[in-house]
Structure 1
């Protein structure tokens, strides 16, 4: 018999092994990692199994997962039965069960692992998506039921863990609305068990710790959302908070309803790591609404192939405003019969173009424009070492944003009536 006081919110989780995947997300100090470690110890005491504990960097395991498991074993009074050698770092049970530890920074060492029936990925959001899929392939046993436990503090919605287990707008995947999890606290969808926790669920935390988390609300709202509320979201200040996505048919219908729509097209060039990004825009000038309804987005494609793939522009003779840094490319497309001209570039043009786009009251994107959605929905400003926003730099290199800049080259968005337009650099 083992007696151990645990947090009530985790009681059912400790003995629930019905699903293959168990995804635990929560704020700081919620005790999710502690209860996963306890769950593992209890399971391996009851059944002979090999469990694998993973973190992105191997050197971080000893002071985190390994020490936590060792602490639990000592607390249960089982240190005389369960051995915790550090060379190699393992935990060995009297029934032959064992826990082994690996880092994804040394993937070659995963190849020698056999008969692993349970994997715990701690801080799974730090592991690359390719690594997660590789680990699923390493989870195999001829007889035992397989389980993967994943724990993480929530990060940005652009992280693979959110896209895989909740929503991936770009690929039209919707598994679970995260707001539903925050409300219900535990949810089962298919073969995945979801569990949400915050510091309020840890009855062993001192009040002073919770007070420190509460203080974050005043000086770091993003960290407060993650640490105190345990919720996914966008890390940083959004560049385009007015950006929204609507079904393609609704966008086309809205464009047709514009009395005198302004139609534009813009193109950014790229090849190896950058992309050729071409977008079509429609502008409702009176209501200050920008519609994005068509895109072309490809890299590692030579100009002749690109010219074939966007040949419709040659037929319609639509004007394409393009990146002036590539005059030879523009000249090539002109020789091929495209109506393409260079957009103006000047000192400070990135900031001016960004300000121009921000002046739109709404930016509505068709759900058929997957690359625009991916780059702009959660686009945030880069920050300097002091945490100050850099108004013309971003968390990614958004090629579709550059294409929009060029498309709007000769268009001016008047300031919204009744108020001024706020730019984050004015906050300093």
Structure 2
């Protein structure tokens, strides 16, 4: 049977390519990636008798997205008399015995009854949890047919598992593909994975007004513009520490060595099951207002006795450790084991005050050897409320290394701009500020469509 269907040229190669196990499609809004995944699926199941599984994180979202899209394409191709759609259970059945079944990851128990699935399509895969992705990999099996998993998504934060699994994970030091290479080449094959990047410009069926609407995002929502218009991974939201940077370990040690009177600190945040023990060595250049982070210990599911063995060097150095005051029992244990450790102050509003303190540093320079600190802090962003306003003491993740910095800096204050202005000025009674003695070049006047 001859079937004619007009497609966007940028997807022609993708539709007919079945040589790889994984297909990862990422792109901006309106790029037609989901449409062409659905079309690819229909054509394959017409050719071969297969069972395909279509998944979204929430089952109730499937009917108005994947199911509806598949039905639209079948009707458009004039195959609605041969390919049957049933609402309960939600399925698509083909004349050759192929079928498409639909499941939501919000009901994982329903996956246990699935057998002989040779193709899985995870729509909006960034919404699915990493554990769910691994569970689906286990369900992808057939005694004789080739196995394929198709993942489609709009780009999200680089903290998302999709980026860490298919591109790079700095914490685990894994590198597969630079996303910039994908944006440039548009199609890349790496490690049995077919990567495809698309934009609204690739969809020749879109009205011009839609693209103009996406362009308007640049004027009022730069994060959404990056996602919707440019189709790129990045940082979602406002960064907490825009002055944070990672440098080679030897450079950090050299910079600390050049500080005349460095303030050395150690901070310890306790954790066990899902959280982490985060122990950091810090150095402060008080004159230049630079915070250096040059050593880390970062582990979870560690009992106190095991942790004490692994950080035993602090017993011999007797460095003062300032630790999470909410864990007095743990602090007492480490004291009994010979560690020089004390509680850092905690009080209502201390999270916000500590965050503001760290933000006052002109620079925060971290050794690249502190991979977990870099991973947590380089793209740390504020959480937002239902109105889209930032919450100044809540973040997109639980940053244990940030808490360790709070505790380590307990008792140390970073002068803010107002304090620096008056500290660098000479006063004369009745005349106010008469001379600015600041050497800071920035302190010239004493501080100055979906």
**TM-score over 0.5 for the pair:** yes
CA distance in 2: counterparts of 1:143 and 1:152, whole angstroms: 29
For 1:348 and 1:102, how far apart are their aligned partners in 2?
A: 44
Which 5+ residue runs of structure 1 have no aligned equivalent?
421-428
When residues 273 and 22 of structure 1 are mapped into structure 2, their CA distance, relative to the original with a 3 A threshold, is: closer
* Residues 364-383 of structure 1: pairs in structure 2 closer than 5 A: 364-383=365-384
Give the Cα–Cα distance (whole angstroms) in 2 for the partners of residues 272 and 110 of structure 1: 27
CA displacement at 1:254 relative to structure 2: 3.9
Comparing 302-311 with 233-242, greater Cα deviation is found at 302-311
Counterpart CA distance in 1 for 2:83 and 2:380 is: 49
Deviation at 1:35, TM superposition (A): 0.4
> Tell me, what secondary structure is at the counterpart of 2:40?
helix
Q: CA separation in 1, counterparts of 2:119 and 2:328?
A: 57
Give the deviation of 1:361 after TM superposition.
2.8
| Residue number in structure 2 paired with 1:122 | 123
Which whole-Å deviations, capped at 9, do the CAs of 1:266-309 have from their partners, x for residues lacking one? 11233454433211112334443322122223344443333333
Report the Cα offset of residue 40 of structure 1.
Answer: 0.8
Match of 1:265 in 2: 266
Which residue pairs with 2:389 in the alignment?
Answer: 388
Superposition deviation, residue 139 in structure 1:
1.4
Match of 1:426 in 2: none
- Aligned partners of 2:275 and 2:20: how far apart in 1? 41
Alpha-carbon distance in structure 1 between the residues aligned to 2:407 and 2:294: 16
1:238 matched residue in structure 2: 239
Give deviations 1:36-59, integer Å, cap 9, x for gaps: 101111111122222111111112
Q: 1:385 to 1:86 in 2, by over 3 A?
A: closer
How many residues are treated as equivalent by the alignment? 420
Does 1:349 find its partner at 2:375? no
In structure 2, the CA distance between the partners of 1:192 and 1:58, relative to structure 1 (3 Å rule), is same
Match of 1:100 in 2: 101
Any idea what SS the aligned residue of 1:171 has?
coil
Where does residue 397 of structure 1 map in the other structure?
A: 398
> Structure 1 residues 238, 47: CA separation in 2 closer, same or farther (over 3 Å shift)?
same
Counterparts of 2:77 and 2:232 in 1: how far apart (Å)? Answer: 32
- Cα deviation per residue 1:163-197 (whole Å; 9 max; x = unaligned)? 00111111001111111111111111120111111
Corresponding position of 1:181:
182
Give distance in 2, aligned partners of 1:264 and 1:359: 17
Distance 1:98 1:409 in 2: 62
CA 214–271 in structure 1, closer or farther in 2 if over 3 Å, else same: same
CA drift of 1:24 comes to 0.3
CA–CA separation in structure 2 for the residues paired with 1:219 and 1:377: 24
Backbone CA RMSD of aligned residues: 2.0
2:221 matches 1:220: yes
Alignment partner, residue 17 of structure 2:
16
Q: Secondary structure at the match of 1:81?
A: coil
Deviates more, 1:226-235 or 1:278-287: 278-287
Matched, 1:202 2:203: yes
Structure 1 stretch displaced more, 336-345 or 72-81: 336-345
Choose 34-43 or 380-389, whichever is displaced more: 380-389
Cross-structure match for 2:154? 153
Partner residue in 1 for 2:428: none
Quote the Cα distance in structure 2 between the aligned partners of 1:145 and 1:331: 59
Mapped partners of 1:259, 1:188: distance in 2 = 52
- 2:142 and 2:251 map into 1 onto residues whose CA distance is 49
- SS of 1:84 mapped into structure 2: strand
Counterpart CA distance in 2 for 1:43 and 1:325 is 58
In structure 2, how many angstroms separate the alpha carbons of the residues matched to 1:337 and 1:290? 28
The separation in 2 between residues aligned to 1:133 and 1:28, in whole angstroms, is 27
TM-score by length of 1: 0.92
Distance 2:273 2:173 in 1: 27
Deviates more, 1:180-189 or 1:391-400: 391-400
Displacement of 1:335 after TM fit? 3.2
Mapping of residues 71-110 of structure 1, within 5 Å:
71-110=72-111
For 1:409, the equivalent position in structure 2 comes to 410
Q: 1:307 to 1:360 in 2, by over 3 A?
A: same
Alpha-carbon separation, structure 2, partners of 1:258 and 1:188: 48
Q: Distance in 2 between matches of 1:110 and 1:241?
A: 43
- C-alpha change, 1:283 and 1:71, in structure 2 (3 Å) is same
Render the CA deviation track for 1:361-417: whole Å, top value 9, x for unaligned. Answer: 332222332332232122111222222222222222222111111212233334583
Q: Highest CA radius of gyration, 1 or 2?
A: 2
CA apart distance, 1:21: 0.7
CA distance in 2, matches of 1:79, 1:284: 71
Q: TM-score, normalised by structure 2?
A: 0.88
| 4+ residue segments displaced more than 6 Å | none
Aligned residue for 2:116, secondary structure, equals coil
Which 5+ residue runs of structure 2 have no aligned equivalent?
418-439, 444-450
